Chains A and B, each alone.
Chain A
Protein backbone atom coordinates (compact mmCIF):
# COMPACT_ATOMS: atom_id res chain seq x y z
CA UNK A 1 0.00 0.00 0.00
CA UNK A 2 2.75 2.34 0.97
CA UNK A 3 4.50 1.74 -2.33
CA UNK A 4 1.57 3.12 -4.31
CA UNK A 5 2.13 6.52 -2.72
CA UNK A 6 4.02 8.58 -5.29
CA UNK A 7 4.95 12.21 -4.74
CA UNK A 8 2.32 14.49 -6.18
CA UNK A 9 1.62 18.17 -5.68
CA UNK A 10 -1.43 17.81 -3.47
CA UNK A 11 -1.30 15.54 -0.46
CA UNK A 12 -4.97 14.77 -0.17
CA UNK A 13 -5.60 13.89 -3.79
CA UNK A 14 -2.59 11.61 -3.76
CA UNK A 15 -3.86 9.76 -0.72
CA UNK A 16 -7.17 9.37 -2.41
CA UNK A 17 -5.23 7.51 -5.01
CA UNK A 18 -3.95 5.17 -2.34
CA UNK A 19 -7.49 4.68 -1.12
CA UNK A 20 -8.62 3.81 -4.60
CA UNK A 21 -6.02 1.09 -4.91
CA UNK A 22 -7.07 -0.42 -1.62
CA UNK A 23 -10.74 -0.57 -2.35
CA UNK A 24 -9.89 -2.14 -5.66
CA UNK A 25 -8.00 -4.87 -3.83
CA UNK A 26 -10.69 -5.10 -1.20
CA UNK A 27 -13.22 -6.91 -3.31
CA UNK A 28 -14.61 -4.83 -6.19
CA UNK A 29 -13.10 -5.84 -9.46
CA UNK A 30 -12.29 -2.79 -11.52
CA UNK A 31 -14.75 -2.50 -14.36
CA UNK A 32 -13.19 -3.00 -17.76
CA UNK A 33 -12.92 0.12 -19.86
CA UNK A 34 -15.72 0.16 -22.41
CA UNK A 35 -14.67 -0.16 -26.01
CA UNK A 36 -15.15 3.13 -27.85
CA UNK A 37 -14.86 2.37 -31.55
CA UNK A 38 -18.31 1.16 -32.46
CA UNK A 39 -17.74 1.95 -36.09
CA UNK A 40 -14.89 -0.51 -36.28
CA UNK A 41 -16.36 -3.88 -35.36
CA UNK A 42 -13.11 -5.75 -36.06
CA UNK A 43 -11.16 -3.68 -33.58
CA UNK A 44 -14.07 -4.02 -31.18
CA UNK A 45 -14.02 -7.81 -31.28
CA UNK A 46 -10.28 -7.79 -30.96
CA UNK A 47 -10.48 -5.60 -27.91
CA UNK A 48 -13.10 -7.80 -26.32
CA UNK A 49 -11.00 -10.89 -26.90
CA UNK A 50 -8.03 -9.12 -25.42
CA UNK A 51 -10.02 -8.15 -22.34
CA UNK A 52 -11.38 -11.65 -21.99
CA UNK A 53 -7.92 -13.07 -22.33
CA UNK A 54 -6.34 -10.72 -19.85
CA UNK A 55 -9.14 -10.70 -17.29
CA UNK A 56 -9.98 -14.36 -17.80
CA UNK A 57 -7.42 -16.02 -15.54
CA UNK A 58 -8.10 -13.56 -12.72
CA UNK A 59 -11.86 -14.01 -13.10
CA UNK A 60 -11.58 -17.78 -13.12
CA UNK A 61 -9.38 -17.68 -10.04
CA UNK A 62 -11.74 -15.29 -8.27
CA UNK A 63 -14.86 -17.25 -9.07
CA UNK A 64 -13.25 -20.62 -8.49
CA UNK A 65 -11.42 -19.84 -5.28
CA UNK A 66 -13.55 -17.10 -3.69
CA UNK A 67 -17.13 -17.13 -4.91
CA UNK A 68 -17.52 -20.89 -5.34
CA UNK A 69 -16.15 -21.81 -1.88
CA UNK A 70 -18.44 -19.26 -0.26
CA UNK A 71 -21.42 -20.74 -2.09
CA UNK A 72 -20.34 -24.28 -1.19
CA UNK A 73 -19.89 -23.31 2.47
CA UNK A 74 -23.41 -21.90 2.49
CA UNK A 75 -24.67 -25.18 1.00
CA UNK A 76 -22.83 -27.47 3.44
CA UNK A 77 -23.89 -25.22 6.33
CA UNK A 78 -27.44 -26.53 6.00
CA UNK A 79 -26.37 -30.12 6.68
CA UNK A 80 -25.13 -32.21 9.54
CA UNK A 81 -22.14 -33.71 7.79
CA UNK A 82 -19.14 -35.66 9.04
CA UNK A 83 -17.20 -35.17 5.85
CA UNK A 84 -17.63 -38.68 4.42
CA UNK A 85 -19.47 -38.93 1.14
CA UNK A 86 -22.10 -36.44 0.04
CA UNK A 87 -24.06 -34.62 2.75
CA UNK A 88 -27.54 -36.12 3.23
CA UNK A 89 -28.77 -35.01 6.64
CA UNK A 90 -30.47 -31.70 5.84
CA UNK A 91 -31.15 -29.72 9.01
CA UNK A 92 -32.09 -26.29 7.68
CA UNK A 93 -31.02 -23.50 10.00
CA UNK A 94 -30.27 -25.82 12.91
CA UNK A 95 -26.50 -25.26 12.76
CA UNK A 96 -27.03 -21.50 12.89
CA UNK A 97 -29.32 -21.84 15.89
CA UNK A 98 -26.63 -23.79 17.71
CA UNK A 99 -23.95 -21.24 16.80
CA UNK A 100 -25.90 -18.35 18.23
CA UNK A 101 -26.85 -20.18 21.42
CA UNK A 102 -23.36 -21.58 22.04
CA UNK A 103 -21.73 -19.73 24.96
CA UNK A 104 -18.33 -20.54 23.43
CA UNK A 105 -19.23 -18.63 20.27
CA UNK A 106 -20.37 -15.63 22.30
CA UNK A 107 -17.02 -15.92 24.02
CA UNK A 108 -15.08 -15.73 20.77
CA UNK A 109 -17.10 -12.70 19.65
CA UNK A 110 -16.10 -10.93 22.86
CA UNK A 111 -12.46 -11.88 22.36
CA UNK A 112 -12.50 -10.68 18.74
CA UNK A 113 -14.16 -7.39 19.72
CA UNK A 114 -11.56 -6.92 22.45
CA UNK A 115 -8.74 -7.50 19.97
CA UNK A 116 -10.25 -5.17 17.33
CA UNK A 117 -10.71 -2.30 19.78
CA UNK A 118 -7.55 -3.00 21.74
CA UNK A 119 -5.42 -3.05 18.60
CA UNK A 120 -6.79 0.31 17.45
CA UNK A 121 -6.40 1.96 20.85
CA UNK A 122 -2.93 0.62 21.57
CA UNK A 123 -1.27 0.63 18.18
CA UNK A 124 -2.81 3.82 16.75
CA UNK A 125 -1.52 6.44 19.21
CA UNK A 126 1.86 4.78 19.74
CA UNK A 127 2.41 4.38 16.00
CA UNK A 128 1.53 8.03 15.32
CA UNK A 129 3.96 9.22 17.99
CA UNK A 130 6.70 6.93 16.68
CA UNK A 131 6.06 8.06 13.12
CA UNK A 132 6.26 11.74 14.14
CA UNK A 133 9.50 11.04 15.99
CA UNK A 134 11.03 9.11 13.13
CA UNK A 135 10.05 11.81 10.69
CA UNK A 136 12.48 14.15 12.47
CA UNK A 137 16.09 14.31 11.46
CA UNK A 138 17.59 12.24 14.23
CA UNK A 139 20.71 10.14 14.33
CA UNK A 140 20.25 6.48 13.48
CA UNK A 141 16.80 7.09 12.02
CA UNK A 142 17.17 4.44 9.34
CA UNK A 143 18.27 1.83 11.84
CA UNK A 144 15.39 2.56 14.22
CA UNK A 145 12.91 2.38 11.34
CA UNK A 146 14.24 -1.02 10.36
CA UNK A 147 14.16 -2.29 13.95
CA UNK A 148 10.55 -1.21 14.41
CA UNK A 149 9.60 -2.94 11.20
CA UNK A 150 11.42 -6.21 11.97
CA UNK A 151 8.65 -7.88 14.06
CA UNK A 152 6.21 -7.36 11.20
CA UNK A 153 8.49 -9.19 8.80
CA UNK A 154 9.04 -12.22 11.04
CA UNK A 155 6.68 -15.09 10.32
CA UNK A 156 3.77 -15.59 12.72
CA UNK A 157 4.93 -19.13 13.42
CA UNK A 158 8.31 -17.93 14.67
CA UNK A 159 6.76 -15.10 16.68
CA UNK A 160 4.23 -17.47 18.25
CA UNK A 161 6.76 -20.14 19.10
CA UNK A 162 9.26 -17.63 20.45
CA UNK A 163 6.82 -15.79 22.68
CA UNK A 164 5.19 -18.96 23.93
CA UNK A 165 8.59 -20.27 25.03
CA UNK A 166 9.53 -16.98 26.69
CA UNK A 167 6.18 -16.45 28.40
CA UNK A 168 5.62 -19.99 29.64
CA UNK A 169 5.51 -20.44 33.39
CA UNK A 170 9.12 -21.52 33.62
CA UNK A 171 10.18 -19.32 30.72
CA UNK A 172 12.60 -16.46 30.25
CA UNK A 173 10.23 -13.64 31.17
CA UNK A 174 9.44 -15.04 34.60
CA UNK A 175 13.10 -15.87 35.18
CA UNK A 176 14.06 -12.32 34.26
CA UNK A 177 11.47 -10.86 36.63
CA UNK A 178 12.82 -13.08 39.38
CA UNK A 179 16.42 -12.08 38.64
CA UNK A 180 15.77 -8.35 38.81
CA UNK A 181 13.87 -8.65 42.06
CA UNK A 182 10.37 -8.39 40.67
CA UNK A 183 9.50 -12.00 41.52
CA UNK A 184 6.11 -10.85 42.76
CA UNK A 185 5.16 -10.06 39.16
CA UNK A 186 5.79 -13.62 37.97
CA UNK A 187 2.67 -14.93 36.36
CA UNK A 188 1.14 -17.60 34.17
CA UNK A 189 1.15 -15.17 31.26
CA UNK A 190 -0.37 -17.63 28.81
CA UNK A 191 -2.49 -19.93 30.92
CA UNK A 192 -4.12 -17.62 33.44
CA UNK A 193 -7.54 -16.93 31.87
CA UNK A 194 -7.62 -13.47 33.46
CA UNK A 195 -4.52 -12.16 31.70
CA UNK A 196 -3.98 -14.39 28.68
CA UNK A 197 -5.89 -12.10 26.34
CA UNK A 198 -3.86 -9.10 27.50
CA UNK A 199 -0.73 -11.08 26.72
CA UNK A 200 -2.13 -11.78 23.27
CA UNK A 201 -2.89 -8.09 22.77
CA UNK A 202 0.66 -7.18 23.79
CA UNK A 203 2.15 -9.66 21.32
CA UNK A 204 -0.13 -8.44 18.52
CA UNK A 205 0.77 -4.82 19.24
CA UNK A 206 4.48 -5.64 19.25
CA UNK A 207 4.16 -7.52 15.99
CA UNK A 208 1.99 -5.20 13.95
CA UNK A 209 2.95 -1.74 15.16
CA UNK A 210 5.80 -1.61 12.65
CA UNK A 211 3.33 -1.84 9.81
CA UNK A 212 1.33 1.10 11.18
CA UNK A 213 4.49 3.17 11.65
CA UNK A 214 5.64 2.55 8.09
CA UNK A 215 2.22 3.48 6.73
CA UNK A 216 2.11 6.66 8.77
CA UNK A 217 5.66 7.58 7.80
CA UNK A 218 4.75 7.24 4.15
CA UNK A 219 1.72 9.42 4.80
CA UNK A 220 3.85 12.02 6.56
CA UNK A 221 6.39 12.14 3.73
CA UNK A 222 3.68 13.03 1.29
CA UNK A 223 2.50 16.06 3.22
CA UNK A 224 4.02 19.00 1.31
CA UNK A 225 6.79 20.82 3.10
CA UNK A 226 5.31 24.23 2.12
CA UNK A 227 2.36 23.79 4.43
CA UNK A 228 4.65 23.44 7.44
CA UNK A 229 6.72 26.41 6.32
CA UNK A 230 3.64 28.54 5.89
CA UNK A 231 2.35 27.54 9.30
CA UNK A 232 5.70 28.31 10.86
CA UNK A 233 5.76 31.73 9.23
CA UNK A 234 2.31 32.35 10.63
CA UNK A 235 3.73 31.64 14.08
CA UNK A 236 2.35 28.19 14.76
CA UNK A 237 4.18 26.10 17.40
CA UNK A 238 5.30 22.49 16.95
CA UNK A 239 2.25 20.93 18.62
CA UNK A 240 -0.11 23.30 16.84
CA UNK A 241 1.37 22.24 13.51
CA UNK A 242 1.00 18.57 14.38
CA UNK A 243 -2.61 19.01 15.50
CA UNK A 244 -3.85 21.35 12.80
CA UNK A 245 -1.87 20.20 9.78
CA UNK A 246 -0.19 16.84 10.20
CA UNK A 247 -3.02 14.86 11.77
CA UNK A 248 -5.78 16.07 9.42
CA UNK A 249 -3.63 15.44 6.37
CA UNK A 250 -2.65 12.04 7.77
CA UNK A 251 -6.36 11.25 8.17
CA UNK A 252 -6.78 9.14 5.04
CA UNK A 253 -3.75 7.02 5.96
CA UNK A 254 -5.02 6.51 9.51
CA UNK A 255 -8.43 5.48 8.25
CA UNK A 256 -6.96 2.97 5.82
CA UNK A 257 -4.67 1.58 8.53
CA UNK A 258 -7.62 1.25 10.91
CA UNK A 259 -9.52 -0.65 8.23
CA UNK A 260 -6.65 -3.08 7.69
CA UNK A 261 -6.20 -3.46 11.43
CA UNK A 262 -9.88 -4.26 11.98
CA UNK A 263 -9.92 -6.84 9.19
CA UNK A 264 -6.70 -8.38 10.50
CA UNK A 265 -8.09 -8.58 14.04
CA UNK A 266 -11.27 -10.23 12.84
CA UNK A 267 -9.31 -12.85 10.93
CA UNK A 268 -6.77 -13.50 13.69
CA UNK A 269 -5.90 -17.17 13.75
CA UNK A 270 -2.24 -18.14 13.42
CA UNK A 271 -0.77 -16.55 16.55
CA UNK A 272 -3.50 -17.99 18.76
CA UNK A 273 -3.30 -21.40 17.14
CA UNK A 274 0.45 -21.60 17.58
CA UNK A 275 0.70 -20.26 21.13
CA UNK A 276 -2.35 -21.99 22.62
CA UNK A 277 -2.57 -24.99 20.33
CA UNK A 278 -5.64 -26.75 19.04
CA UNK A 279 -7.49 -27.22 22.27
CA UNK A 280 -7.00 -24.76 25.09
CA UNK A 281 -7.57 -21.36 23.44
CA UNK A 282 -11.13 -21.20 24.75
CA UNK A 283 -9.96 -22.26 28.21
CA UNK A 284 -7.34 -19.52 28.26
CA UNK A 285 -9.90 -17.03 26.92
CA UNK A 286 -8.04 -16.21 23.70
CA UNK A 287 -10.09 -18.12 21.15
CA UNK A 288 -11.14 -16.19 18.04
CA UNK A 289 -13.84 -16.80 15.46
CA UNK A 290 -11.34 -18.59 13.23
CA UNK A 291 -9.97 -20.88 15.95
CA UNK A 292 -13.55 -21.66 16.98
CA UNK A 293 -14.31 -22.68 13.41
CA UNK A 294 -11.30 -24.99 13.22
CA UNK A 295 -11.89 -26.47 16.69
CA UNK A 296 -15.61 -27.12 16.16
CA UNK A 297 -15.48 -27.86 12.46
CA UNK A 298 -12.37 -29.61 11.31
CA UNK A 299 -10.96 -30.94 14.59
CA UNK A 300 -14.34 -32.24 15.71
CA UNK A 301 -15.15 -33.69 12.31
CA UNK A 302 -18.34 -31.60 12.12
CA UNK A 303 -17.79 -30.29 8.62
CA UNK A 304 -21.39 -29.16 8.20
CA UNK A 305 -21.30 -27.17 11.41
CA UNK A 306 -17.87 -25.76 10.59
CA UNK A 307 -19.14 -24.51 7.24
CA UNK A 308 -22.04 -22.77 8.96
CA UNK A 309 -19.54 -21.08 11.28
CA UNK A 310 -17.51 -20.01 8.24
CA UNK A 311 -20.60 -18.40 6.74
CA UNK A 312 -21.30 -16.52 9.97
CA UNK A 313 -17.70 -15.27 10.13
CA UNK A 314 -17.90 -14.21 6.47
CA UNK A 315 -21.11 -12.27 7.06
CA UNK A 316 -19.81 -10.58 10.21
CA UNK A 317 -16.58 -9.51 8.48
CA UNK A 318 -18.45 -8.40 5.38
CA UNK A 319 -20.92 -6.35 7.40
CA UNK A 320 -18.17 -4.62 9.35
CA UNK A 321 -16.15 -3.96 6.19
CA UNK A 322 -19.15 -2.53 4.35
CA UNK A 323 -20.21 -0.31 7.23
CA UNK A 324 -16.67 0.99 7.57
CA UNK A 325 -16.38 1.64 3.84
CA UNK A 326 -19.73 3.39 3.75
CA UNK A 327 -19.32 5.65 6.76
CA UNK A 328 -15.60 6.10 7.33
CA UNK A 329 -13.76 5.52 4.09
CA UNK A 330 -16.38 7.25 1.97
CA UNK A 331 -14.67 10.60 1.84
CA UNK A 332 -11.37 9.02 0.90
CA UNK A 333 -12.89 6.97 -1.85
CA UNK A 334 -15.24 9.66 -3.14
CA UNK A 335 -14.70 9.92 -6.85
CA UNK A 336 -13.30 6.39 -7.04
CA UNK A 337 -16.38 4.38 -6.19
CA UNK A 338 -18.98 7.10 -6.69
CA UNK A 339 -17.67 8.44 -9.95
CA UNK A 340 -20.87 8.13 -11.92
CA UNK A 341 -23.10 9.57 -9.21
CA UNK A 342 -21.06 12.75 -8.92
CA UNK A 343 -21.07 13.43 -12.61
Chain B
Protein backbone atom coordinates (compact mmCIF):
# COMPACT_ATOMS: atom_id res chain seq x y z
CA UNK B 1 0.00 0.00 0.00
CA UNK B 2 2.71 2.39 0.96
CA UNK B 3 4.57 1.57 -2.18
CA UNK B 4 1.60 2.44 -4.27
CA UNK B 5 1.20 5.73 -2.49
CA UNK B 6 4.79 6.64 -2.95
CA UNK B 7 4.69 5.72 -6.55
CA UNK B 8 1.62 7.79 -7.03
CA UNK B 9 3.35 10.77 -5.52
CA UNK B 10 6.24 10.24 -7.84
CA UNK B 11 4.07 9.96 -10.88
CA UNK B 12 2.06 12.98 -9.98
CA UNK B 13 5.00 15.15 -9.31
CA UNK B 14 7.02 14.15 -12.33
CA UNK B 15 4.64 13.55 -15.10
CA UNK B 16 2.65 16.70 -14.56
CA UNK B 17 5.26 19.04 -15.81
CA UNK B 18 8.80 20.19 -15.66
CA UNK B 19 9.63 21.08 -12.10
CA UNK B 20 12.55 23.23 -12.87
CA UNK B 21 10.80 25.66 -15.15
CA UNK B 22 7.96 25.67 -12.72
CA UNK B 23 10.34 26.76 -10.03
CA UNK B 24 12.23 29.28 -12.02
CA UNK B 25 9.08 30.73 -13.49
CA UNK B 26 9.58 29.76 -17.08
CA UNK B 27 11.64 32.80 -18.04
CA UNK B 28 15.04 31.57 -17.02
CA UNK B 29 17.74 31.03 -19.64
CA UNK B 30 17.91 27.52 -20.98
CA UNK B 31 21.42 26.95 -19.78
CA UNK B 32 20.37 27.65 -16.24
CA UNK B 33 17.50 25.24 -16.49
CA UNK B 34 19.77 22.56 -17.87
CA UNK B 35 22.32 23.05 -15.15
CA UNK B 36 19.84 22.62 -12.37
CA UNK B 37 18.24 19.68 -14.03
CA UNK B 38 21.55 17.92 -14.17
CA UNK B 39 22.23 18.78 -10.58
CA UNK B 40 18.97 17.25 -9.47
CA UNK B 41 19.32 14.22 -11.65
CA UNK B 42 16.28 15.14 -13.67
CA UNK B 43 18.02 14.57 -16.98
CA UNK B 44 18.21 10.84 -16.46
CA UNK B 45 15.57 8.59 -17.96
CA UNK B 46 12.38 8.37 -15.98
CA UNK B 47 12.73 4.82 -14.74
CA UNK B 48 16.16 5.51 -13.33
CA UNK B 49 14.77 8.50 -11.54
CA UNK B 50 12.07 6.29 -10.09
CA UNK B 51 14.57 3.75 -8.84
CA UNK B 52 16.74 6.43 -7.32
CA UNK B 53 13.70 7.85 -5.68
CA UNK B 54 12.77 4.55 -4.06
CA UNK B 55 16.31 3.80 -3.01
CA UNK B 56 16.64 7.14 -1.38
CA UNK B 57 13.42 6.67 0.45
CA UNK B 58 14.62 3.38 1.81
CA UNK B 59 17.41 5.34 3.42
CA UNK B 60 14.98 7.93 4.64
CA UNK B 61 16.53 10.38 2.29
CA UNK B 62 13.92 12.81 1.16
CA UNK B 63 16.32 14.92 -0.78
CA UNK B 64 17.38 18.44 -0.28
CA UNK B 65 15.82 21.78 -0.89
CA UNK B 66 16.19 22.99 -4.40
CA UNK B 67 16.84 26.43 -3.20
CA UNK B 68 18.96 26.28 -0.14
CA UNK B 69 20.30 22.82 -0.69
CA UNK B 70 22.21 22.32 2.49
CA UNK B 71 20.02 20.55 4.95
CA UNK B 72 18.20 17.35 4.23
CA UNK B 73 14.52 17.92 3.76
CA UNK B 74 13.73 15.31 6.33
CA UNK B 75 15.49 17.30 8.99
CA UNK B 76 13.60 20.42 8.10
CA UNK B 77 10.31 18.57 8.21
CA UNK B 78 11.06 16.98 11.55
CA UNK B 79 11.88 20.37 12.94
CA UNK B 80 8.39 21.51 12.17
CA UNK B 81 6.74 18.28 13.12
CA UNK B 82 6.21 18.84 16.86
CA UNK B 83 4.25 22.01 16.24
CA UNK B 84 1.88 20.16 13.95
CA UNK B 85 1.70 17.30 16.40
CA UNK B 86 0.71 19.59 19.22
CA UNK B 87 -1.96 21.28 17.15
CA UNK B 88 -3.25 17.98 15.82
CA UNK B 89 -3.56 16.33 19.20
CA UNK B 90 -5.22 19.37 20.62
CA UNK B 91 -7.68 19.83 17.77
CA UNK B 92 -8.39 16.14 17.47
CA UNK B 93 -9.20 15.77 21.14
CA UNK B 94 -11.37 18.84 21.05
CA UNK B 95 -13.23 17.64 17.99
CA UNK B 96 -13.90 14.20 19.43
CA UNK B 97 -15.14 15.55 22.72
CA UNK B 98 -17.28 18.16 21.05
CA UNK B 99 -18.55 15.78 18.39
CA UNK B 100 -19.33 12.85 20.64
CA UNK B 101 -21.06 14.85 23.34
CA UNK B 102 -23.18 16.82 20.93
CA UNK B 103 -23.99 13.54 19.19
CA UNK B 104 -25.11 11.90 22.41
CA UNK B 105 -27.04 15.00 23.44
CA UNK B 106 -28.75 15.05 20.09
CA UNK B 107 -29.58 11.34 20.09
CA UNK B 108 -31.24 11.55 23.48
CA UNK B 109 -33.49 14.37 22.35
CA UNK B 110 -34.35 12.85 19.03
CA UNK B 111 -36.63 14.89 16.81
CA UNK B 112 -36.88 17.66 19.33
CA UNK B 113 -35.69 21.17 18.35
CA UNK B 114 -32.27 20.66 19.94
CA UNK B 115 -31.76 17.61 17.77
CA UNK B 116 -32.56 19.45 14.55
CA UNK B 117 -30.31 22.30 15.54
CA UNK B 118 -27.43 19.95 16.16
CA UNK B 119 -28.01 18.12 12.91
CA UNK B 120 -27.79 21.41 11.11
CA UNK B 121 -24.64 22.20 13.01
CA UNK B 122 -23.19 18.91 11.77
CA UNK B 123 -23.73 19.93 8.19
CA UNK B 124 -22.54 23.48 8.60
CA UNK B 125 -19.26 22.59 10.24
CA UNK B 126 -18.24 20.65 7.21
CA UNK B 127 -18.77 23.71 5.05
CA UNK B 128 -16.73 25.99 7.18
CA UNK B 129 -13.79 27.33 5.31
CA UNK B 130 -10.98 27.20 7.80
CA UNK B 131 -9.16 30.33 6.71
CA UNK B 132 -12.37 32.29 6.91
CA UNK B 133 -13.47 30.88 10.22
CA UNK B 134 -10.02 31.47 11.60
CA UNK B 135 -10.20 35.02 10.32
CA UNK B 136 -13.48 35.65 12.05
CA UNK B 137 -12.23 34.22 15.32
CA UNK B 138 -9.08 36.26 15.06
CA UNK B 139 -11.12 39.38 14.49
CA UNK B 140 -13.48 38.78 17.35
CA UNK B 141 -11.18 37.41 19.98
CA UNK B 142 -7.90 38.86 18.88
CA UNK B 143 -8.52 42.22 17.37
CA UNK B 144 -11.77 43.44 18.83
CA UNK B 145 -11.79 41.80 22.22
CA UNK B 146 -8.07 41.43 22.52
CA UNK B 147 -8.34 38.34 24.65
CA UNK B 148 -6.22 35.94 22.65
CA UNK B 149 -3.17 36.15 20.40
CA UNK B 150 -3.82 35.61 16.74
CA UNK B 151 -0.67 34.04 15.44
CA UNK B 152 2.32 31.98 16.30
CA UNK B 153 2.90 29.46 19.02
CA UNK B 154 4.19 31.70 21.71
CA UNK B 155 5.45 35.08 22.62
CA UNK B 156 9.17 34.84 21.82
CA UNK B 157 10.12 35.94 25.30
CA UNK B 158 8.11 33.22 26.93
CA UNK B 159 8.90 30.14 24.87
CA UNK B 160 9.61 27.17 27.12
CA UNK B 161 12.73 25.13 27.18
CA UNK B 162 12.39 22.52 24.48
CA UNK B 163 12.23 18.94 25.65
CA UNK B 164 9.58 17.28 23.56
CA UNK B 165 8.84 20.13 21.23
CA UNK B 166 5.30 20.28 22.49
CA UNK B 167 5.17 23.62 24.19
CA UNK B 168 2.38 22.85 26.58
CA UNK B 169 4.02 19.65 27.70
CA UNK B 170 7.42 21.27 27.96
CA UNK B 171 6.05 24.08 30.05
CA UNK B 172 4.58 21.57 32.44
CA UNK B 173 7.76 19.54 32.56
CA UNK B 174 9.89 22.55 33.32
CA UNK B 175 7.27 23.90 35.71
CA UNK B 176 7.16 27.15 33.87
CA UNK B 177 3.77 28.64 34.59
CA UNK B 178 3.92 31.87 32.53
CA UNK B 179 5.12 29.86 29.58
CA UNK B 180 2.34 27.33 30.07
CA UNK B 181 -0.31 30.00 30.09
CA UNK B 182 1.19 31.66 27.09
CA UNK B 183 1.41 28.45 25.10
CA UNK B 184 -2.15 27.55 25.90
CA UNK B 185 -3.39 30.98 24.94
CA UNK B 186 -1.76 30.65 21.58
CA UNK B 187 -3.13 27.18 21.13
CA UNK B 188 -6.75 28.03 21.78
CA UNK B 189 -7.88 29.71 18.57
CA UNK B 190 -6.21 27.31 16.13
CA UNK B 191 -7.56 24.37 18.13
CA UNK B 192 -11.09 25.67 18.12
CA UNK B 193 -10.95 26.50 14.43
CA UNK B 194 -9.69 23.13 13.33
CA UNK B 195 -11.59 21.30 16.03
CA UNK B 196 -15.00 22.60 15.13
CA UNK B 197 -14.39 21.83 11.49
CA UNK B 198 -13.54 18.22 12.31
CA UNK B 199 -16.23 17.71 14.90
CA UNK B 200 -19.17 17.76 12.53
CA UNK B 201 -18.68 14.29 11.24
CA UNK B 202 -18.39 12.87 14.75
CA UNK B 203 -21.56 14.58 15.78
CA UNK B 204 -23.47 12.99 12.96
CA UNK B 205 -21.91 9.59 13.30
CA UNK B 206 -22.38 9.45 17.06
CA UNK B 207 -25.94 10.59 16.77
CA UNK B 208 -26.85 8.00 14.16
CA UNK B 209 -25.28 5.14 15.98
CA UNK B 210 -26.54 6.15 19.38
CA UNK B 211 -30.09 6.35 18.09
CA UNK B 212 -29.74 2.86 16.68
CA UNK B 213 -28.24 1.42 19.79
CA UNK B 214 -30.59 3.10 22.22
CA UNK B 215 -33.40 1.20 20.58
CA UNK B 216 -31.70 -2.12 20.80
CA UNK B 217 -32.63 -4.99 23.06
CA UNK B 218 -29.68 -5.01 25.38
CA UNK B 219 -30.27 -1.40 26.31
CA UNK B 220 -33.86 -2.26 27.11
CA UNK B 221 -32.67 -5.15 29.19
CA UNK B 222 -30.22 -2.89 31.00
CA UNK B 223 -33.04 -0.50 31.87
CA UNK B 224 -35.09 -3.44 33.10
CA UNK B 225 -32.30 -4.24 35.51
CA UNK B 226 -32.62 -0.81 37.01
CA UNK B 227 -29.22 0.48 35.98
CA UNK B 228 -28.82 4.24 36.31
CA UNK B 229 -29.46 6.15 33.09
CA UNK B 230 -26.00 7.62 32.99
CA UNK B 231 -24.42 4.18 33.15
CA UNK B 232 -26.66 3.01 30.37
CA UNK B 233 -25.83 5.88 28.08
CA UNK B 234 -22.11 6.05 28.59
CA UNK B 235 -21.00 2.65 29.71
CA UNK B 236 -23.17 0.61 27.41
CA UNK B 237 -24.61 2.58 24.55
CA UNK B 238 -21.69 4.82 23.81
CA UNK B 239 -19.16 2.04 24.16
CA UNK B 240 -21.00 0.03 21.55
CA UNK B 241 -21.44 3.03 19.29
CA UNK B 242 -17.79 3.81 19.58
CA UNK B 243 -16.44 1.22 17.21
CA UNK B 244 -17.59 2.88 14.01
CA UNK B 245 -16.49 6.18 15.49
CA UNK B 246 -13.05 4.76 15.95
CA UNK B 247 -12.96 3.69 12.32
CA UNK B 248 -13.94 7.17 11.32
CA UNK B 249 -11.17 8.58 13.43
CA UNK B 250 -8.69 6.63 11.40
CA UNK B 251 -10.20 7.80 8.16
CA UNK B 252 -10.36 11.35 9.39
CA UNK B 253 -6.65 11.52 9.80
CA UNK B 254 -6.24 12.58 6.21
CA UNK B 255 -8.75 15.33 6.75
CA UNK B 256 -6.92 16.37 9.88
CA UNK B 257 -3.71 16.86 7.96
CA UNK B 258 -5.35 18.85 5.22
CA UNK B 259 -7.09 20.97 7.83
CA UNK B 260 -3.83 21.44 9.66
CA UNK B 261 -2.23 22.86 6.55
CA UNK B 262 -4.90 25.50 6.30
CA UNK B 263 -5.03 26.20 10.01
CA UNK B 264 -1.31 26.60 10.30
CA UNK B 265 -1.24 28.96 7.36
CA UNK B 266 -4.06 30.99 8.81
CA UNK B 267 -2.51 31.35 12.23
CA UNK B 268 1.13 31.35 11.19
CA UNK B 269 1.54 28.27 13.30
CA UNK B 270 5.03 26.98 12.51
CA UNK B 271 4.21 23.38 11.72
CA UNK B 272 4.57 21.12 8.70
CA UNK B 273 1.60 22.67 6.97
CA UNK B 274 3.03 26.13 7.27
CA UNK B 275 6.36 24.80 6.10
CA UNK B 276 4.71 23.32 3.04
CA UNK B 277 2.97 26.58 2.31
CA UNK B 278 6.20 28.45 2.57
CA UNK B 279 7.95 26.16 0.14
CA UNK B 280 5.05 26.31 -2.23
CA UNK B 281 5.42 30.00 -2.52
CA UNK B 282 9.06 29.46 -3.43
CA UNK B 283 8.23 26.64 -5.79
CA UNK B 284 10.80 24.55 -3.98
CA UNK B 285 9.96 21.38 -5.80
CA UNK B 286 12.13 18.85 -4.03
CA UNK B 287 11.07 20.00 -0.61
CA UNK B 288 7.45 19.89 -1.59
CA UNK B 289 7.88 16.39 -2.92
CA UNK B 290 9.68 15.32 0.23
CA UNK B 291 7.02 16.77 2.46
CA UNK B 292 4.23 15.11 0.58
CA UNK B 293 6.02 11.79 0.74
CA UNK B 294 6.37 12.25 4.46
CA UNK B 295 2.69 12.96 4.79
CA UNK B 296 1.78 9.90 2.73
CA UNK B 297 3.90 7.69 4.94
CA UNK B 298 2.36 9.17 8.02
CA UNK B 299 -1.09 8.36 6.74
CA UNK B 300 -0.26 4.74 6.10
CA UNK B 301 1.35 4.39 9.51
CA UNK B 302 -1.65 5.80 11.30
CA UNK B 303 -4.00 3.47 9.41
CA UNK B 304 -1.96 0.54 10.58
CA UNK B 305 -2.06 1.72 14.17
CA UNK B 306 -5.80 2.21 14.01
CA UNK B 307 -6.24 -1.32 12.72
CA UNK B 308 -4.27 -2.64 15.66
CA UNK B 309 -6.24 -0.64 18.20
CA UNK B 310 -9.41 -1.93 16.59
CA UNK B 311 -8.52 -5.48 17.44
CA UNK B 312 -8.03 -4.54 21.04
CA UNK B 313 -11.34 -2.83 21.46
CA UNK B 314 -13.76 -5.28 19.90
CA UNK B 315 -13.62 -8.66 21.61
CA UNK B 316 -15.65 -10.21 18.84
CA UNK B 317 -12.77 -9.89 16.44
CA UNK B 318 -10.31 -11.55 18.72
CA UNK B 319 -12.06 -14.86 19.03
A binds B: no
Binding site for B on A (CB under 8 A): none
Binding site for A on B (CB under 8 A): none
